[in-house]
Structures are given as structure tokens and as C-alpha cells.
């Protein structure tokens, strides 16, 4: 679309927001965008409608069709309500659960959604205050709801908010429902939204329900004897101003851990995230205060949760005594290694267990599963796809864990989304198990690499904001498809997997195979002859194109760790330079 045509379209869209249907503050904000000589904000606010991606509805807060505001939330809720009425027309009463995080406007949006649902005749369960996303997933299953929503933008910067929608199994919505709901939402005009529901049909969920959730969370403990022996494990925990502030420490204590050390400055609940630039446990700056507290208290482990407490961040001391972040691949690796080895040691494996990882997550996890006779499945990025695998295998096989590289893990299936509360309990047990053997988590990782092979992974990304940025990202994906690199990091390209066509092609032999996935996705993967893997995809929730790079190597002894680690790091940087230059 040419710039003049685009500006005409967005101007027409924006003018519809000047009617009396919209509140005065919104009308004034839109008029200011129309009056401004710089039309960038106008275009970015109105050039499209927000749609459900891998993380649901998410965007910058403000006025416009491409912004998170009471009207886009209202339209999403009314569209979802319409779809639920059709999908569950056989039920006398449709029930939904609603939660929210610490972000600015999250409570406003959640209360508005609750009233819209009740205006449509639904029964609503609304949490009394901010709560972790996994508790919302649990509530849907526990209370027999047909759907649920949570207002959160996860770890995004403070100007963002979002709206995650869930189905009756507690999972975020997948196809075909997701696209059908989007289609329904697109038909909703502001005047179609039923705003004025009754509070009589809203049940508030509080501490009693929290206790039910915590009881389930601590059932994740595999080896209670280890917890008893190391119950005074020094655990520093930070919620980074978010919803994990109460439930994570309470769950750790309920599991038997008696020495949980908080970070008072980050226990402050705030959508402005006053101590960090970005409330993301992947970022060293977000973890700095907790690591400083750990150094001061000689802690054994640091754990953090993001604002909606679905992702877990972990820090450990390296062999130089420095506190470092355990990356997402390593976190998933520790979880699944521990689960599998403990299940084997305690004779808990019955032969029908399985694990799940996403396609961009470390292949070392697949190696561990294969060598231990555990079935594993690959799925797309997003825990809704992990939950879909569980749903497909319900009653046939037993799920024992699944995760992805972006600091998400789901240890048990009573929650059908990533679950940092339960994960914190299990990670504390892993640290206790390691300490019982005289090891840190860092030592444990190195011993895993010696046993199963070394792998190093990094995710790099390029940000391209706004409508023009979306075009640039699309062009980059087209270029990678039409002219894939022939050599990466000094190794010949062997396999190209294109998930938009579901075709895997061996470029050396010309042989092609069908990729076993239900739907297509805008993802490319390159595999070289020496085992290097590169995954490329546009983010579903942020204006980024992401590159996931994994390089493998042999680690013969722990003494060689630093040397092998440094050489693979150089190789990753070499590969990244080839991809973006």
C-alpha cells in the first residue's frame, strides 16, 4: 500500500473514533494525532487492528485500533463472547475466569471485560487482585469454565498491555478457534459491545483459591527427602514488581523451603517497574538487584518471575564465584534432565511418559530424551502448542514436562500454560539435589554437558517498529527463503525446514520430507552438516525478527568447559554476522 493511500485509510479509520460513541479523552487524543504534522503516531495507531498472535492480543496502550484501550479490549471481549455462545450453545450457563497482572490499566480492563461477559449472560470468576497467569489457567480447569482471559503483557516494557484468551482446557486458544475468534472480533463495532453487565454474576476469587493452587503446585516435588535435607537452601526471590510477590514465596515455604530471601525494592507492585527498564528476567539489568542480594547473603540460588509470573529466571554462581543468569535453554535442560533422571532413579517410569519442547529450543534436550528412552515432541513457539500436544495425547500417554527457550516451563499439566510458581518449587528442589552432592547448578550443567554433549544457544533479534518495520521484516523472511545461506559458521548447509510450506529439504541431495505439524507458520530453520541449527521467525507479539542459533561441540571433560564455551560463542557470533550482513 502506497504511503498516500495508507494515510487516507488510517485517517478515515481515525475519524470514526471522533464520534460520541467514544469518551472525551479518547476523542481528544485522536484529534491531536489527526492535527499533528507528523503522522507517524496516527499511522501506527490505526494502520491495523490488533490480532491474536502467539501470546494473544498485545500492544502499546493508547487510542486507536492498533492500541490497547478499553474499546479494543471491549471488542475482543464481545467477539469472544459471541464465539463462545456459538461454540457452547448446548450449555445453559457459560462460565469464564478473569485475571490480571500489575500493569497500568490491567484492573480497569479486567473489570470492564467482566461486565461485558455478564451482560452477555455469562457467569464470571474474577480474581480479587493481581494473580499469576498459571493460576488463571488452573482456575479454568478447576471451576469448569469454558474460557478465560488474563490482562497482561508478560515481560514487555511498561507502555504495553495485553489480553490472553484461553479455552476450556486451560490452554491459550489455538486453531481453528483463534482465527474464528479474530474474524468475529473484526465484525464488532463499538456500539455492538454490551458494556453494562450485572455484578451479581461475578464471583470474586481470593486467598482460599490461592491455597488450592499452591497445594497443586507443591505436588511437583519428586524427591521430598532432598527437600527435607536441604530445607534451609538460601533462595533469593524477586517478582520484579509483579504477581509472583506472594504466591511464589508461599509455595516455596509450603514445599518445605524455610530460607526464602526477598528483594524489598522489587516487592513493590507497580506497572511502572521503577527499578528496571524492562521487567524481563532474561535481562541482566532486571536481575542485578537480586544477584546483588544473593552475593550479600551468600545465597545458593536466585529465582525471579516476570510481571504475570508465568516465566522463571534463574541465577547461579559460576566457578569464579560470579553470579550469572542460567539461560532459557539451560533452564529447560536442567528441568527435563532432573525429571527424567529422578523418575528413573525412583522407578517411576512406566513406559508411556513424554516431554515436549518447541522447535527453537535446544536439540540437546532431544538427545537426552532419546538416550533415556523418553518420547519427545516438537511444537511451535508458544505454550498453547505444548498444551495442544497434551490434549491430543490425553488418556494415552503421561506428560512429565515441557518447555521453551524463552524462560518458560510447565512441570505438571494441571496448568496448561507456562507456570513459574510450580517451576520455582521444582527448581529449588533441583538446586537442593545439586547441593546435596556438593554441586551448584553451574556444576550440574557442566556434568550434563560432559555426559550428553555440549550445546550453546543464543537468541538475537532485530527490532523494526511500526508499519514500515513490519514490511521490512516480511522482506527479510522472503530473502532468506529465496536465497538461503550455503555455508554457516564454516559448515555447509544441509537441511532447510520451511514451516510455511511444511517441507523439509536436504539441499545436498534434493530429498524432501513432510514436516509433522498441523498448521503452517512463518518459521525457517537451517541445519548444517556439523549440527548447527538456526531458526528464524518474526515475533508474534513484538516488532522483531528473531534468530535462534545453536552450536554443538564435544566436551570431553569439565576441565575443557571454558575453552569449548568460548569457541562455540565465537562460532555463534560468526553465524549471526553472516545472517544479518
DSSP state of 328: H
Answer whether 493's CB lies under 8 Å from 484's CB.
yes
The three three-digit cell numbers of residue 238, written as one number = 524477586
The three three-digit cell numbers of residue 271, written as one number = 506497572
Residue 277: Cβ within 10 Å count: 11
Contacting residues for 177 by C-beta, under 8 A, at least 6 apart: 83, 87, 167
Nearest in space to 171 (alpha carbons), one of 399, 330, 365, 327? 399
Tell whether the torsion through CA atoms of 526, 532, 538 and 539 is positive or negative.
positive
CA distance 392 to 139: 21
With H, G, I as helix, E, B as strand and everything else as coil, classify residue 339: helix
Nearest in space to 100 (alpha carbons), one of 162, 49, 30? 162
Nearest 10 degrees: Cα torsion 468, 474, 477, 478? -110
Active site residue 154: yes
Answer whether 113's CB lies under 8 Å from 77's CB.
yes
CA distance 341 to 323: 26
With H, G, I as helix, E, B as strand and everything else as coil, classify residue 130: coil
Pairing of strands 491-498, 503-506: antiparallel
Q: Which residue in 110, 137, 154, 455 is the catalytic one?
A: 154
Contacting residues for 331 by C-beta, under 8 A, at least 6 apart: 312, 314, 403, 407, 409, 427
With H, G, I as helix, E, B as strand and everything else as coil, classify residue 471: helix
Half-sphere exposure at residue 507, Cβ-oriented, CA atoms within 13 angstroms: 19
CA distance 63 to 427: 41
Contacting residues for 165 by C-beta, under 8 A, at least 6 apart: 52, 56, 57, 76, 80, 147, 148, 149, 172, 173, 181
Which residues pair with residue 525 across a beta bridge?
497, 535
For the chain, the farthest-separated pair of C-alpha atoms sits apart, in whole angstroms, at: 72
Contacting residues for 518 by C-beta, under 8 A, at least 6 apart: 175, 388
Nearest in space to 569 (alpha carbons), one of 489, 506, 485? 489
Residue 170: Cβ within 10 Å count: 24
Answer whether 273's CB lies under 8 Å from 240's CB.
yes
Answer whether 524's CB lies under 8 Å from 536's CB.
yes
With H, G, I as helix, E, B as strand and everything else as coil, classify residue 141: helix
Q: How far does the chain reach from its first CA to its final CA, in angstroms?
A: 27
- Residue 235: enclosing H or E segment and its boundaries? strand 235-238
Residues marked active site are found at: 154
Amino acid at each position: 500500500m502506497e504511503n498516500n493511500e495508507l494515510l487516507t485509510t488510517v485517517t478515515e479509520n481515525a475519524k470514526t473514533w471522533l464520534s460520541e460513541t467514544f469518551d472525551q479523552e479518547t476523542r481528544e487524543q485522536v484529534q491531536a494525532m489527526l492535527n499533528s504534522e507528523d503522522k507517524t503516531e496516527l499511522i501506527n495507531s490505526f494502520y491495523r487492528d490488533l490480532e491474536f498472535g502467539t501470546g494473544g492480543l498485545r500492544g502499546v496502550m493508547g487510542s486507536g485500533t492498533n492500541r490497547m484501550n478499553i474499546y479494543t479490549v471491549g471488542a475482543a471481549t464481545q467477539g469472544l463472547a459471541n464465539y463462545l455462545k456459538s461454540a457452547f450453545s448446548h450449555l445453559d450457563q457459560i462460565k469464564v475466569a478473569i485475571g490480571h497482572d500489575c500493569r497500568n490499566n490491567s484492573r480497569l480492563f479486567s473489570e470492564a471485560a467482566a461486565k461485558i461477559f455478564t451482560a452477555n449472560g455469562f457467569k464470571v470468576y474474577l480474581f480479587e487482585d493481581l494473580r499469576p497467569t498459571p493460576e488463571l489457567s488452573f482456575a479454568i480447569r478447576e471451576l469448569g469454565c469454558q474460557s478465560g482471559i488474563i490482562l497482561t503483557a508478560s515481560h514487555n516494557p511498561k507502555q504495553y498491555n495485553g489480553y490472553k484468551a484461553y479455552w476450556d482446557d486451560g490452554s491459550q486458544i489455538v486453531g481453528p478457534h483463534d482465527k474464528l475468534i479474530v474474524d468475529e472480533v473484526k465484525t464488532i463495532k463499538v456500539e455492538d459491545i454490551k458494556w453494562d453487565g450485572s455484578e451479581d454474576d461475578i464471583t470474586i476469587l481470593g486467598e482460599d483459591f490461592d491455597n488450592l493452587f499452591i497445594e497443586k503446585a507443591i505436588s511437583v516435588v519428586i524427591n521430598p527427602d532432598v527437600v527435607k535435607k536441604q530445607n534451609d537452601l538460601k533462595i533469593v526471590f524477586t517478582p520484579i514488581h509483579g504477581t509472583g510477590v506472594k504466591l511464589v514465596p508461599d509455595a516455596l515455604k509450603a514445599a518445605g523451603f524455610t530460607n526464602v530471601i526477598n528483594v524489598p525494592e522489587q516487592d513493590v507492585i507497580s506497572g511502572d517497574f521503577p527499578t528496571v527498564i524492562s521487567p524481563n528476567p532474561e535481562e541482566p539489568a532486571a536481575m542485578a538487584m537480586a544477584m546483588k542480594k544473593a552475593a550479600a547473603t551468600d545465597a545458593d540460588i536466585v529465582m525471579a518471575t516476570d510481571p504475570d509470573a508465568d516465566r522463571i529466571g534463574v541465577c547461579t554462581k559460576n566457578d569464579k564465584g560470579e553470579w550469572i543468569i542460567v539461560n532459557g535453554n539451560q533452564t529447560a535442560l536442567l528441568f527435563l534432565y532432573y525429571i527424567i533422571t529422578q523418575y528413573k532413579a525412583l522407578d517411576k517410569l512406566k513406559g508411556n511418559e513424554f516431554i515436549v519442547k518447541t522447535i527453537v529450543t535446544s536439540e540437546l534436550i532431544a538427545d537426552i530424551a532419546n538416550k533415556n528412552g523418553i518420547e519427545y515432541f516438537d511444537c511451535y513457539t508458544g505454550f498453547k502448542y505444548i498444551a495442544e500436544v497434551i490434549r491430543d495425547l490425553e488418556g494415552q500417554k503421561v506428560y512429565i514436562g515441557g518447555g521453551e527457550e524463552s524462560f518458560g516451563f510447565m512441570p505438571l499439566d494441571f496448568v496448561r500454560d507456562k507456570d513459574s510458581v510450580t517451576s520455582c518449587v521444582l527448581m529449588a528442589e533441583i538446586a537442593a539435589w545439586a547441593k546435596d552432592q556438593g554441586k551448584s547448578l553451574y556444576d550440574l550443567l557442566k556434568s550434563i554437558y560432559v555426559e550428553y554433549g555440549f550445546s550453546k544457544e543464543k537468541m538475537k533479534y532485530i527490532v523494526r517498529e511500526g508499519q514500515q518495520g513490519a514490511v521490512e521484516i516480511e522482506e527479510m523472511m522472503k530473502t532468506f527463503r529465496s536465497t538461503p545461506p550455503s555455508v554457516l559458521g564454516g559448515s555447509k548447509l544441509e537441511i532447510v525446514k520451511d514451516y510455511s510450506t511444511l517441507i523439509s529439504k536436504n539441499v545436498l541431495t534434493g530429498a524432501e520430507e513432510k514436516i509433522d505439524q498441523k498448521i503452517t507458520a512463518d518459521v525457517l530453520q537451517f541445519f548444517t552438516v556439523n549440527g548447527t541449527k538456526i531458526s528464524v521467525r518474526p515475533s508474534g507479539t513484538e516488532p522483531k525478527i528473531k534468530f535462534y542459533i545453536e552450536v554443538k561441540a564435544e566436551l570431553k571433560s569439565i576441565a575443557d568447559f571454558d575453552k569449548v564455551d568460548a569457541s562455540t560463542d565465537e562460532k555463534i557470533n560468526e553465524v549471526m554476522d553472516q545472517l544479518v550482513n
